[in-house]
Amino acid sequence: MHPLDVVKTRFQIQRGKTDPTNYRSLGDCFRTISRTEGLFGFYKGILPPILAETPKRAVKFFTFEQYKKLLGYAMLPPGLTFAVAGLGSGLTEAVVVNPFEVVKVSLQANRNVFTEQPSTFSQARQIIKTNGLGFQGLNRGLTATLGRHGVFNMVYFGFYFNVKNIIPVNKDPTLEFLRKFGIGLVSGTIASIINIPFDVAKSRIQGPQPVPGETKYRTCFKTMATVYKEEGFLALYKGLVPKIMRLGPGGAVMLLVYEYAYAWLQENW
């Protein structure tokens, strides 16, 4: 699914029709990257997600279960418990994944041929050497990442578990699988639609600034306001189509694997 993430990031960092590197459509973006950067251009920034994905997902689901248990003492309604536990897991996940996101976005923004771009580790070293480990360096855009993951997981888990408890369980295993997959697909899609303004802000903050040496995009909500003022409301939804194409089915598969693996472990361990 990584090529869709590259395309999404490219749309999010371009600054409207006045941007000389503007992509006209999803198809134009795919064709341009393929023609000018080659097939491997779609896999720029692939190593940070590979390194981060396993601990990131482990943190997501582990902390969701822990927050859910803690919230049980607060006597909250079950529906609210799922949403708040999702929010907590998303915020925790964001802290773990943000440094990887900074490196990934900086690599994805590079339009050179794949063989000419810096390696993941040299890019990380350059970021640390130039700006350090703080909020201007390897943890740049942390507030936007917190918003992106917090909102996504809140909607993702909240919607999935609440709707799953409403729609009756099907005795047929195949239909039950499809029931869960459908709910997961809708959960990932809705969560992507709601959280994408935070995703756009994150890409702008972590990506290349319009004027080299000057920081235009600094904080999450200020970046959103700037994008809205200069480019309009729809600019906050740039990259939505490839994001949904990636996280709609991806989110469904992730929840299904989690549920079936969790049930198997409870039965066998």
Give pLDDT tens digits for 223-269: 999 999 999 999 999 999 999 999 999 999 999 999 899 889 989 88
Is the pLDDT assigned to residue 176 strictly greater than 90?
Answer: yes
What pLDDT band is residue 21 in, cutting at 50, 70 and 90?
confident
- The per-residue pLDDT of the chain, averaged, comes to 92
Q: What tokens does 173 get?
A: 């295993």
| Contact indicator for 178, 253 with CB cutoff of 8 Å | no
Q: Look at residue 110 in the predicted model and tell me its pLDDT.
A: 86
Q: What tokens does 130 get?
A: 């130039």
Q: How many helices (H) and strands (E) does the chain have?
A: 9, 0
Please name the CATH architecture into which domain 1-268 falls: Alpha/alpha barrel (1.50)
Residues recorded for the chain = 269
* Distance between CA atoms of residues 197 and 248, nearest Å: 17
Domain ranges of the chain: 1-268
Is the pLDDT assigned to residue 116 strictly greater than 90?
Answer: no
| Contact indicator for 210, 216 with CB cutoff of 8 Å | yes
Is the pLDDT assigned to residue 72 strictly greater than 90?
Answer: no
Is the pLDDT assigned to residue 19 strictly greater than 80?
Answer: no
Q: Look at residue 264 in the predicted model and tell me its pLDDT.
A: 92
Is the pLDDT assigned to residue 181 strictly greater than 80?
Answer: yes
High-pLDDT (> 90) share of the chain, %: 73
Q: Look at residue 24 in the predicted model and tell me its pLDDT.
A: 85
Write the Ramachandran bin of 44: left for phi over 0, alpha for psi from -120 to 50, otherwise beta. beta
Q: Look at residue 194 in the predicted model and tell me its pLDDT.
A: 97
